[in-house]
Chains A and B, each alone.
Chain A
Amino acid sequence: MNSLGIDKDPKDTRVVVAMSGGVDSSVTAALLHEEGYDVVGVTLQLYDHGEAIDRKGACCAGQDIYDAKRVAEEKGFPHYVLNYEDNFRESVIDDFADSYMRGETPIPCVRCNQTVKFRDLLKVAHDLGADCMATGHYIKRSVNEGTGKAELHRAIDDGKDQSYFLFATTQEQLDFLRFPLGGWTKDVTREHAERLGLLVCNKPDSQDICFVPNGDYASIVKKIRPTAENHGDIIDMNGNVLGEQHGVIHYTVGQRKGLGIGGGHNEDNSPFYVVKVDPKANQVIVGPKEALARDLVTISSCNWLTDIPESGLDVNVKLRSVSKPAPAKLFKIDDQTAEIQLETAQYGIAPGQAGVCYDNGRVLGGGWIIDARNSSMPMAA
């Protein structure tokens, strides 16, 4: 077995490496190349970069594509740029806009991994006769000796762990994928970048959603769905109009700041939070913090990397990328949907985010949050 778990000499093992032009995937590709693998670097052109930064005449490819190409040229392995603008628009950007239009708070990075990277690019890797595909994600893949099956585990580097964004990885995809950086901290990756002499070694980590380089996602949504900024009412839980909302895209469940309703406090002098976004009525409903408490969460379009018994499964669940996993019980409703019963209610659970289940460090899978309720209270608003 070679280091990628394939029973071949590295030089006979073809690995397609998805390269973004950043430090992580550059190190992944350069390392595998150093180990002697038949590395094929691929960078996806996902959107017109010149258009995204609003600069007329700028090249459609951004600096990242050039950086990835330069790394491959320096190291001497083949590299290709695939134009996935159409796939990305259909699978990710349109869905991003539609999700906001449904009053949700979407995570486009999960969609991108799920469709463009692990469906479309993976097919290309198969077509090129690759033995596996590697990415620079911080997540661990290991083969369980008992079951013989590949499993997903949280990365060693807790701050960099990307397991939340990869819950939709299917068993079939996982069998073909490799994540060489999952066992490293970012510092180790940077050390290797320097050791390998990669010109990207000091490049800062990307922060924003890639196709919204200036952070102004509202203008992107507005471009695709012009009604997204229709104004409407901000109401309290009794239906009293408290102010004006400036388009549902600007509001997220749990949000307190930027509501613009003078003082923003109710009679008990407690602040208002967004409890619900209702795009159909074009309303934003606000209430006190208690009104946000939810302990029953329904998730759909689920992907599971384990069997879930009828009697339910004790798990730890993450309902936001930044929150810590919390204890809960998971029940399967059908192949597509499941219910999560939280041990302790949480505040600000937003539809459109992911519910990702863990058994300690192991990723069991998850789904998209479509609904959250409170078992002890009648449905609020």
Chain B
Amino acid sequence: MSVYLDYNATALMRPEVRDLVIEIMEGVGNASSVHNFGRAARKYVEDAREQVATLCGSNAKQVIFTSGATESINTVLNEYKDKRVLISAIEHPAVLECATQAERIPVTKDGVIDMDTYKALLNEGEPPALVCIMLVNSETGVIQPIAEAAKLAHEKGALFFVDAVQGAGRIDISIDKLGADYMALSAHKMAGPQGIGALVTRKGVDAPKFMHGGGQEKNCRAGTHNTAGIAGMGLAAELALKNLPHYDTLTKMRDDMEAKLRQATNNLTIYGENAPRVGNTCNVGIEGVPAQTQLMALDLDGIAVSSGSACSSGSFKASHVLQAMGADEDQAKSALRISLGWNTTAADIEAFVESWTRMVKRTQK
């Protein structure tokens, strides 16, 4: 048996996207070439740019393709290395590591940024040049009040950067509604291919230059276009937008699942449950049972979920997100993230609940 419930790590590619990627890979063409082959490749790239722009309620001119959200984040934050920057305490490591100088905005125990402290940070000393807050937290699924936070930042003259990776295809990410100046996106979290992402800027804001070399992407991002990846991302964006209503089904599945987990034991914590969350994510901790044991037991039953952040060796670390929400180290090491996606079925959830319940009974004997 094999059940995949780790869509926040990476999503199963939609078959339409996979077919398109394969079709392009069967052909040849550099999108910068003048000839027929190059023009065909270029059409894929430019069509995709429009599709991604539509998902963000933006204009194709504002979209730069990158190798992924990590590159988009590096591109923006590298520009602010010697400036005052505010970031939330629950950002992805890409943000934390690229803005080591940044001041951290704490979150409440529900996992939402603490607005009062945020306001105080904005008002103290020299106004920040940039504020960076993620739209949806990858571990808890908690949605951050971006529109409100961006408005406050703008009042102080700061620009606003949103890591929208876990929001794309799950909630509305229209850049103007969010009030973002920069937005980072990743294709593979919305059922597109891995290794491709985008940096979207608000009209009037230029994307900083990070990769130097050829004149691709209007001289903003050097490097031969990943045509297949870009086209895959475009189609994934289009399908993500079209399937937004499906998220209601996932929300119902997730809520049913959480109710069943509660039936199995009341010794559990669902992180972020009192805050607005995207419908596909559940973060559940059982005190005293290390997440690594839980994860292994489930994996040996063929069920894939995840926990906190893992290093390249696969070794576990306590989740900085849960710790920022007030969990102690043991609690932060005892939580699992279950994330559903477009291909998740009720049978998958049932298999997970069954294996999880068995594991809980065995470990709490």
Contacts and interface: CB of A to CB of B under 8 A. Distances in A.
Interface of A: 14, 40, 45, 59-61, 65-66, 69, 78, 80-83, 124, 127-129
B293 A66 contact: no
Contact of A83 (B317, B362, B363): B317
B316 A129 contact: no
A124 B296 contact: yes
A124 B296 CA distance: 9
Contacts of A83: 292, 315-317
Contacts of B36: none
A81 B315 contact: yes
B300 A81 contact: no
B215 to A, nearest CB: 33
Contact of A129 (B312, B315, B362): B362
B292 A61 contact: no
Contacts of A69: 313-314
Among B314, B362, B363: residue with most chain A CB under 10 A: B314
B299 interface: yes
B311 interface: yes
Interface in B277-301: 289-290, 292-293, 295-297, 299-300
A73 to B, nearest CB: 11
A60 B313 contact: yes
B314 A129 contact: no
B87 to A, nearest CB: 22
What 3 pairs between A and B have smallest CB-CB spacing?
Answer: A61-B313, A81-B315, A45-B315
21 contacts: A14-B300, A45-B313, A45-B315, A61-B311, A61-B312, A65-B315, A69-B313, A78-B300, A80-B295, A80-B314, A81-B313, A81-B315, A124-B290, A124-B293, A127-B297, A127-B359, A127-B363, A128-B296, A128-B297, A128-B300, A129-B297
Contacts of B313: 45, 59-61, 65-66, 69, 81
Contacts of A127: 289, 293, 297, 359, 362-363
B311 A60 contact: yes
Contacts of B312: 59, 61
**Interface size band for B:** 10 to 19
Nearest to A49: B313
Among A65, A81, A83, A128: residue with most chain B CB under 10 A: A83
A61 B313 CA distance: 6
A81 B314 contact: yes
Among B295, B311, B317: residue with most chain A CB under 10 A: B311
Interface of B: 289-290, 292-293, 295-297, 299-300, 311-317, 359, 362-363
B296 A80 contact: yes
B315 A61 contact: yes
Among B293, B295, B313: residue with most chain A CB under 10 A: B313
Nearest to B289: A127
Contacts of B314: 69, 80-81
B296 A40 contact: yes
Nearest to A62: B313
A111 to B, nearest CB: 21
Contacts of B362: 127, 129
A69 B293 CA distance: 18
Contacts of B296: 40, 78, 80, 124, 128
A78 B299 contact: yes
B331 to A, nearest CB: 14
Given A45-B313, A81-B314, A81-B315, 7 more contacts: A45-B315, A60-B313, A78-B299, A80-B296, A83-B315, A128-B293, A129-B297
Among B295, B312, B315: residue with most chain A CB under 10 A: B315
Contacts of B293: 124, 127-128
A14 B311 CA distance: 27
A127 B334 CA distance: 14
Nearest to B313: A61
B315 A60 contact: yes
Contacts of A61: 311-313, 315
A81 B362 CA distance: 21
A78 B298 CA distance: 12
A129 B296 CA distance: 11
B320 to A, nearest CB: 14
A128 B317 CA distance: 20
A45 B292 CA distance: 13
A80 B306 CA distance: 13
Contacts of A124: 290, 292-293, 296
B220 to A, nearest CB: 30
A45 B289 CA distance: 18
Contacts of B363: 127
A59 B295 CA distance: 23
B292 A82 contact: yes
A295 to B, nearest CB: 48
Given A127-B293, A127-B362, A129-B362, A82 B315 contact: yes
A65 to B, nearest CB: 5
A128 B297 CA distance: 5
Contacts of B316: 81-83
A238 B299 CA distance: 66
A40 B295 CA distance: 13
Nearest to A85: B315
A78 B304 CA distance: 13
Contacts of B299: 78, 80
A52 to B, nearest CB: 15
Contacts of A45: 313, 315
A60 to B, nearest CB: 6
Nearest to A82: B292
A81 B316 CA distance: 8
Contacts of B290: 124
A45 B311 CA distance: 12
A220 B87 CA distance: 37
B2 to A, nearest CB: 13
A77 to B, nearest CB: 11
Contacts of B315: 45, 60-61, 65, 81-83
B62 to A, nearest CB: 36
A59 B311 contact: yes
Contacts of A40: 296, 300
A174 to B, nearest CB: 21
B295 to A, nearest CB: 8
A51 B289 CA distance: 28
A127 B286 CA distance: 14
A127 B299 CA distance: 13
A129 B295 CA distance: 13
A65 B314 CA distance: 10
A236 B315 CA distance: 51
Contacts of A129: 297, 300, 362
A40 B317 CA distance: 21
